[in-house]
Structure 1
Amino acid sequence: MARVFPRLGRLVAHHPRLTVVVWLVLTVAGYGLAVLGVQGETLFDRVATGAPGVAGAESTQGQELLAGARTTGPSVTLVLDGVDPATPELGAALDPARGALAAVDGVAAVIDPLALPQGPANPAAAPLLAEDGDGFLVVVELEPDLGAAAQDEALAAVEERLREVPGELRTLAPDVSGVVGAEHLVVEEITDQVEEDLRTGELVALPIALVVMVLVFGGFLAAAMPMAGALASIAGGLGSLLALTYLMDVEASVVNVVTVLGLGLSIDYGLLVVSRFREELHRRVDDDGGAGSRRRRGDGAVVAAVEATMATAGRTVAFSAVTVAIAIAGLLAFRPEILRAIAAAGLLVVLVAAATALTLVPALLTLAGRRLAREGVLARIPGVRRVLARASDVRHDEGAFSALAARVQRRPWWVMLGACAVLVVLALPVLRMDLRISGIELLPSGTTQREYVAALEEDYAGASAPAVTVVAAASLEEAGAWAQELASLDGVASVDPPTPSGSYVVLGVRPDSDDPGGDVAVDVVREVRALDAPFERWVVGQAASQIDFTDALAERAPLALTVVAVATLLLLFLMTGSVVIPLKALLTNTLSILASLGVLVWAFQDGHLEGLLGFTSTGGIETYVLALVVAFAFGLAMDYEVFLLARVKELHDSGHRTDEAVRLGLQRSGRIITSAAAIIVVVFAGFVAGELVVIKQVGFALAVAVVIDATIVRLLLVPATMTILDRANWWAPRPLRRLHERFAILH
């Protein structure tokens, strides 16, 4: 095992151009497939959008029954506002639109209150009339058995024609306006927003990340190496996601989430490899007082530096990737399909990020060669030289980080207790975390489909869907009798009359609250489910889905956490030979994650950062965001743990005392950890700049987790605890020491 990474480094160093060409082809293919697609279907055409569900759960079964019982095709609705339905000649003015819509192939019915006998006075028109009397609905239903192509063509024609209606009515109603809405338009708007947020995140993150790396490395050439790896990783990740959509349903937001992860990890790993290469290269060429950097290319210094880099930093990258993969793989233990999709996609992206760092980046380093040992052009600018010298120095064991470690080591108990106290205070809001599964609320305010849904909820109670729906295998009479019991439950404002849906009956239950996922709706769902019924029934809706999703998380969480914890303990033991360090890592990382979740609750659930981050609070944290953030944040925390421990272990094995190994290890790895953290925070912050609330929550939580881990935990808490434990850091029972001697993962 110890020889694998030097051999890989030697192989890449002897074939750098071939390696670069292979990755160039893969990158172009990845971007091309994601953007152009297979047979005309791009990645964004193939992703799904909808409320996350749990296979086999009551809410999911009920939704499937409703979908299977539908006797009509999809519908498109025009919400007209600023027009009195009783306006004379209004019905005649709508005749051309009615005729044109009815003539569209695939249209089954065109429904509006003015076409009914007696017009708006007909009792059947009530659900189609605005409660304030200043608008009405036009609903177009399609035939149920249209093929996909015919249905898409019909929907497009109907949407286009409905959007023309308000303009045709302005001679009779000058203030009329209209919004066209439909279920598939909500899906399209969310998918389009995902794609736009992805572009926004990349446009914000990549330039700033490049600037940070220029400061870290002192020039553009070295900074370009991790960026090249990042671009290749994004392409590989997008191509992998497209392939994954042919194996399972992939939710649209998964694209952004795993892209963020791949971008951050590839830059992290690239930073580590490039920094170690420059260190190894300086060690080989600086013996001549700087003249070595001008010696001939064939003396083997560059190849030797690549081999040494792969033996150390390459091993660390591979080990880190395994720990991150283990954390993400824990999501596979859960039942919700969205978590399994995130896990599968995340594992693919981690693999691609590690592959670019272990092959593409070393190949580029080989081609750049000794130029990376010279000062960059920026270092010749007055004033900049001093900044770069402090930020990019890789040759000295004394500096800001070793000085910080020395100060921590003078008062380790105070530092440890203070750091723990800060983390506990930050974590306290977790105690009031409210988990949600939001729908249209995820879209930013002001979007067309959010306006459409808001208009229905505000003025068309009869046409809007109830917050809680009961699907009953009963007759209308049985369901009607049971509806009286439902109406008497606490928190129930009203119950809609039972309506047939295929072989089932549907009862709409309207809680005494406008929040479909709030506490009142959740309590109503629990009460309805607890109520005895003389027939089989299924309760569905946003609150029902929240309950089922949360229960599914709670059911499998012990298994997922146990698997991740055991695997992490085993890997860190094989790396360090200690049982103390792995246990300490689990405890500190857990405290760090809880702190980041506490900040997330304070910012998003409590809404304290609504104005700054540009969102409207949904009143909770998206349910699957909790599982995702815990998995990803733990993986990233282990990423930085491995970065630091690899250097400390290396120094300790070479004969340094534990306190010296910690101080020197922090100096040699602290710059990389801090720089990598700064860049990954920029990456996550770039996606906070998007519009979808769920992406904002993920980006914000992970950015906060990285900031907390790279500062409070990695720079203060870990050095303090390792100093306190001293030689006890490396303790293990004798049988385990023998096991480590046999199976250790060594340099």
Structure 2
Amino acid sequence: MDATRRRAGHGRPALERWGRFVAAHARPVVIGWLVLIAAGFAVALGGLGTPSLFDRLDTGEIVVDGENQAGRAVLSEAGGSGFSTHTLLVEGVDTGDPAVARAAAAGVRDLLAVDTVTSAVNPFVVPDGPSSAAARPMFLHGDPGSGGFATVVTFDPDDTAEQEDAATAEVDAVLDRMVRETGASSSERGGLRGLVDRIVHQVKVDGQRGEGIALPVSFAVMVVVFGGFLAAGFPVLGAIASISGALASLLGFSYLLDLDATAVNVVTVLALGLCIDYGLLVVSRFREEMRTLLAGRPAADATAAEVTEATGRTLDRAGRTVVFSALTVAISLAGLLFLDIDFVRAVSLAGVSVVVVALAVALSLVPALCVLGARRLLRRGTEVASDTGLFSRLAEGVHRLPWVVIGVVSALLLVLAAPVSGMLLTASGAELLPKGTPERTFFEDLADGYPTLAGAQVVVVARAPQAEVRSWAADAAGRPGVSSIDPVRVLDGGVVTVPFHTGDSGTGEASRALVDSLRADRPPFDSWVVGQASGILDFRQAVAERAPWAVGAVVLATLVLLFLMTGSVVVPVKALVMNVLSLGASLGVTVWIFQEGHLESLLRFTSAGGLENTIPLLVVAFGFGLSMDYEVFLLSRIVELHEQGRSTHEAVVLGLQRSGRIITSAALLMVIVFAGFAAGDLLIMKQMGVALVLAIAIDATLVRMLLVPATMAVLGRANWWAPAPLRRLHARVGITE
């Protein structure tokens, strides 16, 4: 159904009517958004006296239901959790000096006097003295003559964060005195809670840095793209509105779900990128519609009626594209809800809410700003842009050699995707922070000098008689990956643990091999295998169980949406295939960089031997949505032209010419946004940023500019094929011009 008949039969389309409403109420719309922006930031950042978003963030650890989490719960109930410990490491001490022993023992007595401290120990207060076997693990490298020892303080695990903060301040004062009185030449201290606090802080720092890079650089690029500060400022103001909405929505979700710290950057970067993309599209289409109406007349001659007409047309056309794009991104993110992983579901829900905010900004705030600045947006001229240029020549060139382009580009994408076959997932702790960070250095030194205190890489937690567990443990040294086994430990409630050391960080091949062995050939009593490698295995199993449902739902919904847009079953299937190639290539290069350790110096990171376990999920979901975003940008133009009677060849050439600049500019801006966050220090955000930079760059160049026009040239009229029943269905319910 064409636009003329539709309007004659049913009045103006809904989006056009909405555009005219926005044009008539532009000033109140902008004022209302400014109030919402201020309120969003005030609420999210604690400006109204309420807890800020960053005060409510959960640990930097992502957990899933499974054996590892169940075993940890048993450990916690039995008093075996190490989360509430605070440890001091000192070096350069004469451990044989009686004055040192007195100072260390006095320190422990004072530590035990602090409210909420449940235990404090160092080698000078163990029952049999510092020369005993029980004291050795608390000396540096297990050697009393090494000149170093540890003091471990444990807080009541039921303390509130405020209680533990107050107690930590008192504990640190005692530890400071102990360092002075023992004559230590150096010292460091830390614990898991301090590590989590640092990760949360780093999320905030990286987010501010990323936004600090992305917003001004994006603005500068848009000044060049639009040829003026005003037009460039509209999408940036929209992006600021979207960030405000993203932070406010995350604060709301923090009361419903345990929200991981990294979710903040993941969601705000999506908000920033989408709003810039949509703002760019709306502002560009508004200027195009105004130029068409003015047909060369001076911008100052534009009437209010023409501005209203241009706004209505913009939202009827570009607005429809934005709606389709937002739906595709929301669908890809909603697919994550099928996975039974709290962090992933939180990102999914928050991401969908951010897409809604970005859509609202693009359909109201940005067009209202265009209305208020309409004449200034066109001060560089009102001539209609030529239908020939760089992108039309590119399309013509591709159409001359389509099979060559398809073969070369497809082969290149497959080569880039090859490293995915060897991808390993990991779950880093202190390794998320860059080398040299005090918290990371503390845990590295603890693992190197005090391996027993640092904890075993794999622990078997059992509810069984001690004798039976000890008998089993005596024969377990031959298990794959085992380097040593600590003595069996008895906890409260009849819980017994067997700590295994593997000599790696807990996520390496030795730990994984041991976990596989312990789960395949289980102890003859009730037990759980606990450790980072066990958690990774649970994560993989949780994804494998639900992934088919997630993929199936996203694929089906995307096919239906693109069918409603194009009336074809060929174009949607082709879009999905090309997205798989594009995402595979971006993940392959990400594996090559971060897992294999290439470009460490350039990107300022240290390889953890794999990708953080949520990265493939988030990259596929976000990358798929953003790839379909650009697919919709391009297809909407091609479909519009095809419905106007153009041949497939003409529609592709002209569609690429009219949308190519928007797609490449939007992609460049999105690359800038993600590159800003890739410049952060937190490893998981660096991996996410780099992976999405690759996904967008590969998709916007190799796929949209080359592969799409090449395949459409080869298929010709077959692009628009659909079975007769579906053609009749599309005639009734399809969303077209």
TM-score, normalization: structure 2? 0.95
- Identify the residue that residue 234 of structure 2 maps to in structure 1: 225
Structure 1 position 637 matched with structure 2 position 627: yes
Distance 1:318 1:673 in 2: 16
Instruction: Indicate conservation of the 8 Å contact 1:424/1:591, yes or no.
Output: yes
1:689 aligns with 2:689: no
Q: Provide the rounded CA distance (Å) in 2 between the counterparts of 1:453 and 1:656.
A: 65
What's 2:653 paired with?
663
- The reply on whether 1:345 has 2:335 as its aligned counterpart is no
> How far off is 1:440 after superposition?
1.5
In the TM superposition, what is the alpha-carbon distance from 1:511 to its structure 2 partner?
A: 4.4
Displacement of 1:646: 0.2
Question: What SS is found at the alignment partner of 1:89?
Answer: helix
Aligned to 2:300: 294
Partner residue of 2:6? Answer: none
Q: Report what 2:166 is aligned to.
A: 153
Single out whichever of 311-320 and 10-19 deviates more from structure 2.
10-19
Checking the alignment, whether the CA contact within 8 Å between 2:479 and 2:517 is kept in structure 1 is: yes
1:707 matched to 2:697: yes
Residue 462 of structure 1 aligns to which amino acid in structure 2?
A: T
| Contact map agreement 2:243 2:272 (CA 8 A) in 1 | yes
Give 1:312's match in structure 2, choosing from 313, 317, 331: 317
2:644 to 654, 659, 667: 654
Contact 2:395 2:653 in 1 (8 A): yes
1:520 Cα shift?
A: 1.5
User: In structure 2, which of residues 3, 19, 28 is the aligned counterpart of residue 9 of structure 1?
Assistant: 19
Question: Over residues 382-410 of structure 1, what are the superposed CA-to-partner deviations in whole Å (9 max), with x where a residue is unaligned?
Answer: xxxxxxxxxx9971211111111111111
Structure 2 CA distance for partners of 1:123 and 1:495, relative to 1, 3 Å: closer
Query: Taking structure 1 as reference, are residues 625 and 146 closer, same or farther at Cα in structure 2, changes over 3 Å only?
Result: closer
Change (3 A) 1:630 1:296: closer
Tell me which of 28, 32, 42 is aligned to 1:32.
Answer: 42
Matched AA of 2:219: L
Question: What's 2:5 paired with?
Answer: none
User: Residue 206 of structure 1 corresponds to which residue in structure 2?
Assistant: 215
Q: How far apart are residue 491 of structure 1 and its match?
A: 2.1
Q: How does 1:143-182 map to 2 (within 5 A)?
A: 143-163=156-176, 165-170=178-183, 173=184, 176-182=185-191
Q: Where does residue 535 of structure 1 map in the other structure?
A: 525
Q: Which residue of 1 aligns with 2:331?
A: 326
For 1:382-393, list aligned pairs within 5 A: none
Aligned to 2:4: none
Q: 1:37 to 1:618 in 2, by over 3 A?
A: farther
1:519 to 495, 498, 509: 509
Alignment of 1:259-270 (within 5 A): 259-270=268-279
CA distance in 1 between partners of 2:694 and 2:502 (Å): 37
What is aligned with 1:485?
Answer: 475
In 2, distance between residues paired with 1:523 and 1:98? Answer: 40
Alignment pair present for 1:111 and 2:111: no
Equivalent position to 1:724, from 689, 714, 730: 714
Aligned residues: 723
For residue 439 of structure 1, report the CA deviation from its aligned partner.
Answer: 1.6
Task: Give the Cα–Cα distance (whole angstroms) in 1 for the partners of residues 486 and 106 of structure 2.
Answer: 35
Instruction: Tell me the residue number matched to 2:443.
Output: 453
**What RMSD over aligned residues (CA atoms) do the two structures have, in Å?**
1.9
> What is the alpha-carbon distance in structure 1 between the residues aligned to residue 48 and residue 508 of structure 2?
42
**Matched-pair contact (CA < 8 Å) for 1:486–1:528:** no
What secondary structure sits across from 1:503 in the alignment? helix
Which residue identity does 1:445 align to in structure 2?
K
Decide which of 187, 196, 202 is 2:205's aligned counterpart: 196
Residue pair 1:469, 1:506 contacting (<8 A) in 2 also: no
The separation in 1 between residues aligned to 2:311 and 2:101, in whole angstroms, is 79
Match of 2:410 among 401, 410, 420: 420
Deviation at 1:545, TM superposition (A): 0.5
Deviations 1:640-684 (A, max 9, x none): 000000000011111111111101100110000000000100100
Counterpart mapping for 1:213-612 below 5 A: 213-288=222-297, 291=298, 293-295=299-301, 297-298=303-304, 300-375=305-380, 395-612=385-602
Extract unaligned runs of 5+ from structure 1. 377-391
**Aligned residue in 1 for 2:3:** none
Q: What's the CA shift for 1:452?
A: 1.3
Partner-residue secondary structure (3-state), 2:497: strand
**Structure 1 residue ranges, 4+ long, deviating more than 6 angstroms after superposition:** none
CA distance in 2, matches of 1:489, 1:262: 48
Residues 589-629 of structure 1: per-residue CA shift (max 9 Å, x gap): 10000000000001100110111100000000111111110
CA contact (8 A) 1:394 1:668 kept: no
Q: Structure 1 residues 144 and 294, CA, compared in 2 at 3 Å: closer, same or farther?
A: closer
1:487 to partner: Cα distance: 1.7
Which is worse superposed, 657-666 or 34-43?
A: 34-43
Looking at structure 2, the residues matched to 682 and 87 of structure 1 have their Cα atoms a distance apart, in angstroms, of 59
> What are the equivalent positions in structure 2 for 1:13-162 lying under 5 Å apart?
13-36=23-46, 40-55=50-65, 57-70=66-79, 74-94=84-104, 97-98=107-108, 100-116=110-126, 119-131=129-141, 133-162=146-175
Shift of 1:95: 5.9
- Secondary structure, in 3 states, of the residue corresponding to 1:166? helix
Letter in 2 for 1:470: V
Change in Cα spacing, 1:117 to 1:250, as seen in structure 2 (3 Å) is: closer
